[in-house]
């Protein structure tokens, strides 16, 4: 490790800690409308952009995928959604020129996360569609798109409506109750606890899928990637590392509200 751990600066604010625990115990609501959304027509248009084999992806299904640079290093992660036989959506954690038709900002995206999220969503759209919705699948009811996805390690959903309807959806969910609106600080600590990578923060643009433990997401990956380093999760046992030893580089760290340390 290259630096001392500044404990006071890294401690979560009280509100973020409460939001984190509320999500672990019941449900939290997060606004992810900042995400990039790109629409592609035809498998041949989207297949070269990302790493997953789309032949196996059926309408209503979602695949976690990677966008690579020409040298095979990872640019960013994404999800690819198959809307029908010809149309695909690509969601990324930031907006850029990823190809296709840029539809970023057209939809509000609210992430409902936590063990109570399914019960809350059932109050909104009914229990049958919620029970039928499988992991990495989505459905549409009127203007609402609901996908079973998450970053928290808990049961979770991403809910999308046209941007103009965002406040109405938020109000409906808050009126149902049993959830708490949460900040990005809580989202960050939840995903660190659960081992999810935040690519814009943790990846230096030189790591390949194998070094990130994600080579399973790449078609024809056999023998394609070497490994000179590896991204791992760890628990810090001491207060600081020796100043004259550099054995690793910390990409993300947080105090863990769930573990209490």
Residue 5: is its pLDDT beyond 60? Answer: no
Four-way CATH pick for 7-33+105-194: 3.30.1360.120, 3.30.70.100, 3.30.360.10, 2.40.10.170:
3.30.1360.120
pLDDT in tens, 64-100: 999 999 888 899 999 999 999 999 999 999 898 888 9
Q: How far apart are CA 189 and CA 183, in angstroms?
A: 10
Which of 5-9, 98-102, 127-131, 191-195 ranks highest by mean pLDDT?
A: 127-131
Signed CA dihedral, 61, 65, 70, 72: sign only: negative
DSSP string, 63-82: EEEEEE-TTS-EEEEEEEEE
State the Cα–Cα distance between residues 47 and 45, nearest whole angstrom. 6
pLDDT at 8: 40
Beta strands in 23-132 (DSSP E): 28-31, 36-41, 62-68, 74-82, 87-92, 101-102, 107-113
Q: For the residues 123-151, what does the mean pLDDT come to?
A: 98
Cβ atoms 180, 27 nearer than 8 A = yes
- pTM of the predicted structure, to 2 decimals: 0.85
> In which band, very low, low, confident or very high, does the pLDDT at 207 lie, cut at 50, 70 and 90?
confident
Query: Percentage of the chain with pLDDT > 90?
Result: 63
Give Cβ neighbours of residue 69 (< 8 Å, ≥ 6 apart): 75, 205
Give the tokens for residue 152. 């928290």
Nearest to 124 by CA among 136, 110, 137, 105: 110
Share of the chain above pLDDT 70, in %: 83
Residue 4: is its pLDDT beyond 50?
A: no
In this structure, the number of other CB atoms found within 10 A of the CB of residue 60 comes to 17
Sign for the CA dihedral angle at 69, 63, 200, 102 comes to positive
């Amino acid at each position: 490790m290259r630096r001392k751990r500044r404990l006071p600066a890294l401690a979560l604010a009280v509100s973020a800690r409460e939001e984190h625990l509320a999500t672990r115990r019941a449900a939290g609501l997060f606004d992810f409308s900042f995400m990039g959304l790109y629409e592609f027509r035809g498998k041949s248009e989207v297949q070269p952009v990302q790493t997953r084999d789309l032949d196996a992806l059926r309408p209503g299904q979602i695949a976690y995928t990677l966008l690579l640079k020409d040298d095979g290093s990872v640019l960013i992660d994404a999800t690819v959604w198959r809307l029908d036989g010809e149309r695909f959506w690509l969601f990324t954690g930031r907006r850029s020129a990823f190809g296709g038709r840029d539809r970023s900002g057209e939809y509000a995206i609210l992430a409902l996360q936590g063990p109570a999220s399914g019960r809350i969503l059932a109050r909104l759209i009914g229990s049958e569609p919620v029970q039928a919705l499988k992991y990495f699948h989505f459905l549409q009811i009127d203007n609402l798109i609901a996908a079973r996805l998450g970053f928290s390690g808990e049961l979770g959903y991403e809910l999308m409506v046209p941007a103009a309807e965002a406040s109405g959806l938020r109000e409906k969910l808050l009126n149902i109750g049993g959830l708490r609106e949460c900040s990005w600080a809580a989202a960050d600590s939840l995903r660190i606890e659960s081992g999810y990578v935040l690519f814009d923060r943790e990846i230096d643009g030189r790591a390949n899928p194998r070094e990130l433990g994600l080579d399973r997401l790449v078609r024809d990956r056999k023998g394609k990637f070497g490994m000179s380093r590896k991204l791992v999760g760890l628990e810090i046992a001491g207060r600081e590392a020796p100043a004259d030893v550099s054995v690793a580089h910390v990409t993300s760290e947080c105090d863990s509200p769930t573990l209490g340390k």
